[in-house]
């Protein structure tokens, strides 16, 4: 892959000397002066190559110190350029929004991509002959002022299906409204915390506006943000997609040594739509969130701790 053709000197970008038309832009931070107060970025991922402490760096969508990592990210973005563009544009907006406003913006952006050719192409490649799975459930345990919410679908890696989504919304609503509940714990049964949303349900609601209306009323994250201050989450094994998106709202987020984290949505032509663009960007910043989404790579527990994604590693 020829990364040179995707790379520009930052000074040319800021001066408007180059109207960037490509689906991805790498910015060479090596020999650039001070950045303007309000830089105008092109509507595509703009990734810095070089020193993250450079004056330009904070203005970009992400920064990569090791050039070797750029090729893998470029491959992901170029495979789904429309989704990648919407992702970074959303992340640029979120710091100015409240949590609730951010969830609305995320849902609107997600709905936009639900109707895209990229996502439809991914759905067509999945087929519809998957075996029928047992509906998931969420277990609630109350002990004094503590409520424990457990994802209980271990045979499917605690993939969150519609029944679980609705039960999670109800559980977090209860936790938010009951003043006697002072501690809320979210756990996953079995060896895996959650492998994310149930893939077999993607595409079952074909109208993006209808899907947005459903998310506005039933998205668990909308209830979880109301009790996030008393929520603790501990994860083991895989913590993927919507499972990670929800967990990242917690005020206390810990992981087992074998835990790993991933946001694979870009490869599906969509973005994290269960609250993850909001929760992750609040927890680790929009640039690291962009790297996690655009690369699609797995993050180890140790790496997650270094990034501030989790607060501690414990058995």
The domain spanning residue 302 has which CATH number? 3.90.226.10
Q: Quick one: pLDDT at residue 103?
A: 98
Q: What is the mean pLDDT of each run of 10 residues along the chain (315 residues)?
A: 63 60 84 62 90 86 88 94 97 97 98 95 79 85 97 96 96 97 98 94 84 94 97 98 98 98 97 98 97 97 97 93
Q: Quick one: pLDDT at residue 202?
A: 84
Q: Which domain holds residue 273?
A: 99-124+136-313
Q: Count of domains in the chain?
A: 2
Q: 86 lies in a domain?
A: no
Q: Quick one: pLDDT at residue 260?
A: 98
Q: Quick one: pLDDT at residue 131?
A: 60
Q: Quick one: pLDDT at residue 206?
A: 78
Q: Quick one: pLDDT at residue 32?
A: 58
Name the strands in the sheet holding 138-143, side by side, starting at the edge strand that comes first in the sequence: 138-143, 146-151, 183-188, 231-235, 252-255, 312-313
> Do 233 and 281 belong together in one domain?
yes
Q: How far is CA 270 from the centre of its chain?
A: 10
Q: Quick one: pLDDT at residue 212?
A: 94
Q: 270 lies in a domain?
A: yes
| Cβ count within 10 A of residue 119 | 23
Q: Quick one: pLDDT at residue 312?
A: 97
Q: 94 lies in a domain?
A: no
pTM for the structure as a whole: 0.91
Q: Quick one: pLDDT at residue 19?
A: 63
> Do 54 and 174 belong together in one domain?
no
């Amino acid at each position: 892959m020829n990364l040179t053709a995707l790379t520009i000197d930052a000074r040319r970008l800021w001066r408007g000397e180059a109207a960037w038309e490509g689906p991805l832009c790498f910015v060479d931070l090596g020999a650039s002066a001070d950045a303007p107060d309000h830089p105008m970025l092109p509507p595509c991922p703009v990734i810095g190559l070089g020193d993250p402490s450079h004056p330009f760096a904070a203005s970009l969508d992400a920064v990569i110190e090791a050039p070797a990592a750029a090729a893998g990210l470029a491959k992901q973005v170029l495979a789904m350029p429309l989704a990648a563009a919407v992702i970074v544009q959303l992340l640029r907006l979120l710091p100015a929004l409240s949590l609730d406003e951010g969830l609305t913006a995320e849902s609107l952006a997600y709905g936009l991509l639900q109707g895209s050719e990229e996502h439809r192409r991914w759905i067509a490649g999945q087929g519809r002959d998957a075996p029928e799975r047992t509906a998931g459930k969420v277990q609630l345990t109350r002990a004094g002022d503590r409520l424990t919410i457990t994802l209980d679908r271990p045979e499917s890696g605690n993939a969150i299906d519609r029944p679980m989504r609705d039960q999670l919304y109800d559980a977090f609503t209860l936790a938010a409204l009951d003043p006697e509940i002072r501690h809320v714990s979210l756990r996953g049964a079995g060896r895996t915390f959650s492998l994310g949303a149930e893939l077999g349900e993607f595409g079952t609601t074909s109208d993006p506006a209808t899907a947005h209306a459903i998310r506005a009323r039933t998205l668990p994250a909308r209830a979880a943000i109301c009790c996030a201050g008393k929520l603790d989450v501990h994860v083991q094994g895989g913590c993927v997609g919507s499972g990670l998106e929800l967990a990242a709202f917690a005020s206390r987020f810990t992981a087992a040594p074998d835990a790993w984290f991933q946001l694979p949505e870009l490869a599906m032509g969509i973005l994290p739509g269960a609250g993850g663009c909001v929760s992750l960007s609040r927890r680790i910043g929009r640039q690291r969130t962009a790297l996690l989404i655009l690369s699609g790579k797995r993050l180890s527990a140790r790496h997650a701790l270094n990034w501030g994604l989790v607060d501690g590693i414990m058995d």
